[in-house]
């Protein structure tokens, strides 16, 4: 029988990033599902995971939410909610044609990108969209404009391969949950190749993504290991892992505390902890409890910004 992994005697310093966890768009999306269940009674159908977090989704499922990937799975006569990532225009149109009661939980900052896409197409410009292929937000944004009016660019190589004539009217937009630094490099490459390209009225990367990355940049250089609580399909959580690694720390994405291996803490004096925008604070507390079971810990919250943004609920849910 193997001996248990030895517990190190010195204390573990934990730097907890702030801001972390839920953003205003995620808060709003979860509240929409909870209020819809209270108003209509279960089941309430949700097209796609409302946010990318299994703990959150399972909690809402237990309350009466049913998660599906297409409207074909939604029976007649029940309400349906569209996820925080946004959907193509064809989806609410189909729901309306079927007579379904629907609620839109799209993050208002994603909706802002949708409106900007429509404006650019109306102005006669082709859109270069910086994002990750297959992500629900990208699919939703492409679905706001007629096919063929938007080109996805994921890498600097994609930008270099663009073959638009010099006089082509162009604009660019981006997914809201990208790496701030990578997106800046992409924009620089686009504007270098196409100096007349039109920028969005305001930065597309959302405040929460920027703030959480900035917080990780603050703590990661001081840490040997950074734990990021988030789902493997959560774009903003994956970007936090990348930011920590670029700052010189080892970084691991975890969904729950039981994924933590005691051996990860070997040789670690300072550990960073953060959570993606879809991860609730309860999971942060769960991880801290797990770490306390492995080592004597000293915690310090490192605050780099204060967030006070809130978003309005759909009119159907406001009494």
Local structure of 250: helix, strand or coil: strand
Q: At what angle do helices 108-122 and 24-40 cross, to 10 degrees?
A: 110
Query: Please, where are the H alpha helices in the chain?
Result: 24-40, 54-63, 90-97, 108-122, 136-142, 156-161, 180-193, 207-219, 235-246, 281-294
3-state secondary structure of 56: helix
DSSP-assigned letter for residue 198? B
Main-chain phi, psi angles of 150, to 5 degrees: -140, 140
Asked if residues 44 and 33 have their Cβ atoms less than 8 Å apart, the reply is yes
Partners of 251 in beta bridges:
226
Nearest one of 82, 94, 88 to 36, comparing CA atoms: 82
Q: How far is CA 17 from the centre of its chain?
A: 17
Candidate list 69, 101, 116, 137, residue with the active-site label:
137
Is 69 a residue of the active site?
Answer: no
Q: Exposure string (b/e) for 176-190, b if CB count within 10 Å is 16 or more? A: bbbbbebbeebbebb
How many angstroms separate the CA atoms of 203 and 247, rounded?
Answer: 24
The Cα-based distances of 211 to 30, 52, 86, 121, 304 in angstroms read 21, 19, 22, 30, 8
What is the set of active-site residues? 137
């Amino acid at each position: 029988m193997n001996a248990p992994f030895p517990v190190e005697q010195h204390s573990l310093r934990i730097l907890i990033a702030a801001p972390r966890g839920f953003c205003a768009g995620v808060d709003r999306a979860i509240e929409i599902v909870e209020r819809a269940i209270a108003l209509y009674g279960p089941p309430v159908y949700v097209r796609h995971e409302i946010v990318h977090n299994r703990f959150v989704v399972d909690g809402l499922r237990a309350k009466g939410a049913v998660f599906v990937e297409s409207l074909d799975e939604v029976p007649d006569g029940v309400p349906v909610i569209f996820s925080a990532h946004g959907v193509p225009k064809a989806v609410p149109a189909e729901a309306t044609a079927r007579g379904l009661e629907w609620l839109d939980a799209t993050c208002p900052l994603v909706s802002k990108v949708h409106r900007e896409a429509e404006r650019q197409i109306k102005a006669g410009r082709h859109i270069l969209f910086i994002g990750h292929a297959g992500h629900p937000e990208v699919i939703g944004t492409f679905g706001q404009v007629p096919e063929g009016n938007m080109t996805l660019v994921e890498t600097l190589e994609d930008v270099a391969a663009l073959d638009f004539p010099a006089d082509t009217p162009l604009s660019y937009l981006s997914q809201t949950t990208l790496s701030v630094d990578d997106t800046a490099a992409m924009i620089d490459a686009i504007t270098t190749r196409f100096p007349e390209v039109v920028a969005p009225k305001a930065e597309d990367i959302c405040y929460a993504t920027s703030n959480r990355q900035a917080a990780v940049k603050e703590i990661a250089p001081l840490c040997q290991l950074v734990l990021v609580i988030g789902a493997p399909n959560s774009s903003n959580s994956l970007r936090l892992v990348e930011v920590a690694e670029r700052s010189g720390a080892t970084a691991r994405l975890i969904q729950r505390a039981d994924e933590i291996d005691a051996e990860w803490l070997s040789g670690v004096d300072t550990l960073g902890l953060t959570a993606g925008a879809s991860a609730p604070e309860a999971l942060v507390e769960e991880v801290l409890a797990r770490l306390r079971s492995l080592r004597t810990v000293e915690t310090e919250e490192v605050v780099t910004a204060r967030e006070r943004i809130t978003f309005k609920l759909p009119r159907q849910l406001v009494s």
